[in-house]
Structure 1
Amino acid sequence: MAEAKIAFQGEMGAYSELAAREFFACEAKLCPTTTFEGVFSSVKNDESTHGIVPIENSLTGSIHENYDLLLEYELPITGEIKLRIVHNLIANPGVRMDRIRRIYSHPQALSQCKEFLKKMGQVELITVYDTAAAVRMIRDGQMRDGAAVASAQAAFDYGLAILRAGIEDNQRNLTRFLIISKQETTPASDPKTSIVFSTSNVPGALHKSLGVFATRYINLLKIESRPIYGRPWEYLFYLDFEGDTREERCREALDELTKVATFMKVLGCYEKGKEVDGRVYER
């Protein structure tokens, strides 16, 4: 069997890398990309066998770009994992907290540490494309007045010091990551299905669409709306529900949905992801 190659957005030490290592138990080659679209493109063009992308954070909400990319690239979701995000304030060895004037990180990470950063006083918050990249910038620039918000793995990889650990606003800070691949999967247990659909812009259309699940006692886990490009005030609805597309009640619900919706597509049927704590790996 060919070696699995996993594309993720960011640099080594990014939270996406930690999620990939936990999901695939390190039995894969990890392939960093600079953008989320790069992950999808890598899988589509057979440069990687799988991709992993964040889709939702428990504190700051959905990553809308990745919902759009799921539909655009038509790659099935084959799994998910929920990683507890522990943010750390990281600086070059010997730098004191009272010397910090600039803090670098991904905007999502900064947003998840708002309360701690407020207490830092008059510091400049500078956004970069990746948390691990922020740590590398601190090291490469030999900054004595700058720090980064990132994972303990990134601090370990670049040989920097953790000034303060666990600075996120809430310890129940979880990010849900989706696994994508060209090959669909069959969940062995605890199945979950993701779909996308649109409705006519008429009274009761969404109610009828959701009713196909309610009448069959299918539990809905999440619904997210996204604007349809070029059609103002019309929306796509991304929906997750408990169940397997092989189950009769789920097949019937989806069949009925295709009749009441103007568009419907199954994005993937996969096993519900477990919650994990990220570990620091030796390279």
Structure 2
Amino acid sequence: MRIGVSGDIGSFSEEAGQIYAAKAHMSQHTLHYLIDMEGVLAALDREEIDVGIFPFVNYNSGIVWPAFTAMGRHSFMPIDDIQLNVEQCLIGFADTQISEITELYSYTPAFEQCKGFINQHGFKTIDWGDTAKAARDLSLGILPRKAAVVASAQAAKSYNLSVLKQGIQDIQPNITRFIVVKRGNS
């Protein structure tokens, strides 16, 4: 089974994909990292994946609007959903102090879940399209070294970064629902 997820390695969508594979008792599956919802649904249309998984609502920040925009352009059929408690972390290089950080890179829905923490520190937020992609790009030197990202602890681990502060979301639990879809005409 080919599972397309809307995120990079270390994303919450990757975690939702692994949960779905276990729930569906899939011993043989591959994850395809398609970064965004449009990428997932386009790959489903082209039959490059068998199912797609992406977030569509967070109980704190609300609807994930890019998901609904993409869903309006494609034919698909929902087959399941996964609820995931999303723990947002501030991630950077181990030698970076929080006081040195001025810019945060991530995905707008992640920023929406962490407004209190962001406002408290006065960070400038820059949408990077995916939490884990931001972590990857920080580790590769594409982003400024003294920047930080909002992403999962797994993203920090995947890209040899450090969790500078864990649990920065405004509420706990921070539940996000992910939809599992298949092609509309299959």
User: What TM-score, normalized to structure 2?
Assistant: 0.89
CA shift for structure 1 position 182:
3.0
CA contact (8 A) 2:56 2:179 kept: yes
CA shift for structure 1 position 143:
4.1
Partner of 1:21: 18
1:5 to 2, 8, 17: 2
Relative to structure 1, is the Cα distance of residues 127 and 73 closer, same or farther in structure 2, using a 3 angstrom cutoff? closer
Total equivalences in the alignment: 181
The equivalences for 1:120-159 within 5 A come to 120-121=121-122, 123-141=123-141, 143-159=144-160
Q: Deviations over 1:64-111 (max 9, x none)?
A: 343354454221111001111100001112211121121111011111
Following the alignment from structure 1 to structure 2, what is the Cα–Cα distance between the partners of residues 126 and 70? 24
* 1:89 partnered with 2:90: yes
What percent identity do the matched residue pairs reach?
31
* 1:57 partnered with 2:53: no
Following the alignment from structure 2 to structure 1, what is the Cα–Cα distance between the partners of residues 14 and 102? 29
Following the alignment from structure 1 to structure 2, what is the Cα–Cα distance between the partners of residues 184 and 45? 12
Following the alignment from structure 2 to structure 1, what is the Cα–Cα distance between the partners of residues 167 and 34? 27
CA contact (8 A) 1:77 1:184 kept: no
Relative to structure 1, is the Cα distance of residues 100 and 67 closer, same or farther in structure 2, using a 3 angstrom cutoff? closer
Relative to structure 1, is the Cα distance of residues 126 and 182 closer, same or farther in structure 2, using a 3 angstrom cutoff? closer
Alignment partner of 1:79: what SS?
Answer: strand
Gaps in structure 2 of 5+ consecutive residues: none
Partner of 1:99: 100
CA contact (8 A) 1:55 1:62 kept: yes
Alignment partner of 2:181: what SS?
Answer: strand
CA contact (8 A) 1:58 1:172 kept: no
Partner of 1:47: 48
Relative to structure 1, is the Cα distance of residues 71 and 128 closer, same or farther in structure 2, using a 3 angstrom cutoff? closer
More deviation in 49-58 or 30-39? 30-39
CA contact (8 A) 1:92 1:143 kept: no
CA shift for structure 1 position 115:
0.4
CA shift for structure 1 position 46:
1.3
| Higher Cα radius of gyration | 1
Relative to structure 1, is the Cα distance of residues 144 and 41 closer, same or farther in structure 2, using a 3 angstrom cutoff? closer
User: What TM-score, normalized to structure 1?
Assistant: 0.60
Q: Which amino acid aligns with 2:17?
A: A
Following the alignment from structure 1 to structure 2, what is the Cα–Cα distance between the partners of residues 66 and 126? 19
Following the alignment from structure 2 to structure 1, what is the Cα–Cα distance between the partners of residues 65 and 125? 23
* 1:174 partnered with 2:175: yes
**Which structure carries more relative contact order (alpha carbon 8 Å, separation 6+)?**
2
Relative to structure 1, is the Cα distance of residues 162 and 37 closer, same or farther in structure 2, using a 3 angstrom cutoff? same
CA shift for structure 1 position 12:
0.8
Following the alignment from structure 1 to structure 2, what is the Cα–Cα distance between the partners of residues 183 and 107? 29
Relative to structure 1, is the Cα distance of residues 184 and 175 closer, same or farther in structure 2, using a 3 angstrom cutoff? farther
